[in-house]
Amino acid sequence: MRIGELAKRAGTTTRTLRYYESRGLLTVSRDAHGYRTFDEDDLRVLRQIRALRENGFELEETRPFVECLRAGHPAGDSCPDSLEVYRRKLAELDACMADLRSVRDEVAARLARAEVEAAAGLPRGPEPRCELSLPGPSPDTPQGHQGDEDP
């Protein structure tokens, strides 16, 4: 099949396929007229890349899965290097989730304090102010006008 058909079947663009080719993720054969030709194995590779990318994998992280498929394995994640990528990604996700839990706990604690203070009618401290007067003239102050004085 030609590049346009492969792109359509894979749900991507020809530009993306050329980019994958330039990165060595997609191998290309050419016919007698110089047109790129692809087969069902290329479609499997593209579906593997797309599935991984949809789950947050960087393009380079898909390489071991692509190589596993190219080596003739039935699935891209049946090779040791692919499993290692899964392990790294899982550790990365766990770290992100821990960071988010920490932020969530802090926001929840602030909300709880604010609700207790509001229910008790406690003062919340000084209201934020916007300081408009500056000591001395500033480059933006018209000549003769300083701070809050009347001109």
| Extended beta strands in the chain, E state | 29-30, 36-37
Q: What is the pLDDT of residues 99-115, one digit of tens each?
A: 999 999 999 999 999 99
d(CA 8, CA 13): 7
pLDDT tens series, the chain, 151 aa: 999 999 999 999 999 999 999 999 999 899 999 999 999 999 999 999 999 999 999 999 999 999 999 999 999 999 999 999 999 999 999 999 999 999 999 999 999 999 998 888 776 666 666 666 555 555 554 554 444 444 4
**Sign for the pseudo-dihedral over CA of 31, 34, 35, 36:** positive
d(CA 55, CA 69): 19
Q: Classify 3-120 by CATH class.
A: mainly alpha
Q: Where are the domains positioned within the chain?
A: 3-120
